Amino acid sequence: MARLVNRELAEVNMDYVNLQESSVRMHTNGRNLALPDPRRRLFTLVGVGFGLLCIVQAALNVSLRLTPSAVRRNDTDQQRFLTGKYIKQGWVYFHTSFYFISSTKKSWQESRKFCQEQSADLVIINTEEEQDFTRQFHRLTWIGVHNVSRTGQWTWVDGTPLTKSYWGPGEPNGYEGRNENCVEIRFFDRQNSWNDIPCEDQNFWICEKEAAL
Ligand code: GN1
Ligand code: CA
């Protein structure tokens, strides 16, 4: 009897052991892992979650640290490139800008197009020094102010309305009823050197590119 009980117990134990082994095998495709199934799943979840967090953190680090400096570096590179190009092409540096004084003539619009193709624009005059700078070349030159919609509102090429002006005597006059909607430097010998003139006329021009040094 005692032997029978023992044998029964032994069989039950064996079955239990076999059952556990087979269940482990079943869920591990043959790999014999030590952990029971729910705990292993939990560990896997924690591991995957941690891994994802690391990836998100790394992505944040990259975007936060590299993006602004990358933009700065591109800006600086672009500035260096333009500076080298301007110096080689004979642009003049004065105060805080580079200037190009043309040796050929174009209409106001075509002159502006030339400047824009050089990442610049027709000169905007902000100071008396800059005004004096523009008249020293003794050439009839376009500057970056025009009567945009022919409303009488003179406007700089950056869209700001003209406040401080340097009109010559009797100008602007829309001479003989003509549409004189663009501005040239004409009276070189006086600080008030500007004249309004038809935009289609052919003139020299001055481009300006502010230098972010
Ligand atoms: C006149 O005279 P002249 O060519 O320097 C005119 C300007 C006109 C310009 C048009 C005092 O200048 O206002 O823009 O013709 N000057 C005067 O060619 O009337
Ligand atoms: Ca005029």
SS (H, E, C) the chain: CHHHHHHHHHHHHHHHHHHHHHHHHHHCCCCCCCCCHHHHHHHHHHHHHHHHHHHHHHHHHHHHHHHHHHHHHHHHHHHHHHHHHHHHCCCEEECCEEEEECCCCECHHHHHHHHHHCCCEECCCCCHHHHHHHHCCCCCEEEEEEECCCCCCEEECCCCECCCCCECCCCCCCHHHCCCCEEEECCCCCCCCEEEECCCCCEEEEEEEECCC
For the entire predicted model, the pTM comes to: 0.67
CA of 196 to the centre of ligand 2 (A): 4
CA of 129 to the centre of ligand 2 (A): 23
Checking if the pLDDT of 96 tops 80, the result is yes
pLDDT computed for residue 61 by the predictor: 62
* Span of 48-57, 92-101, 130-139, 180-189 with lowest mean pLDDT: 48-57
Checking if the pLDDT of 6 tops 50, the result is no
Of all protein residues, the one whose alpha carbon is nearest to atom 5 of ligand 1 is 186
Of all protein residues, the one whose alpha carbon is nearest to atom 13 of ligand 1 is 175
Q: Residues lining ligand 1, judged by CB closer than 6 Å? A: 170-171, 173, 175, 180, 195-197
Residues with CB under 5 A from ligand 2 (ion): 171, 173, 175, 180, 195-196
User: What confidence tens digit (pLDDT) does each residue in 15-33 have?
Assistant: 333 333 333 333 444 444 4
pLDDT computed for residue 67 by the predictor: 52
pLDDT above 90 covers what percent of the chain?
54
**Highest mean predicted confidence (pLDDT) among 61-75, 76-90, 124-138:** 124-138
Question: Which domains does the chain carry?
Answer: 95-210 (3.10.100.10)
User: What confidence tens digit (pLDDT) does each residue in 42-73 have?
Assistant: 777 877 877 788 687 777 666 555 555 555 56
User: What confidence tens digit (pLDDT) does each residue in 173-185 have?
Assistant: 999 999 999 999 9
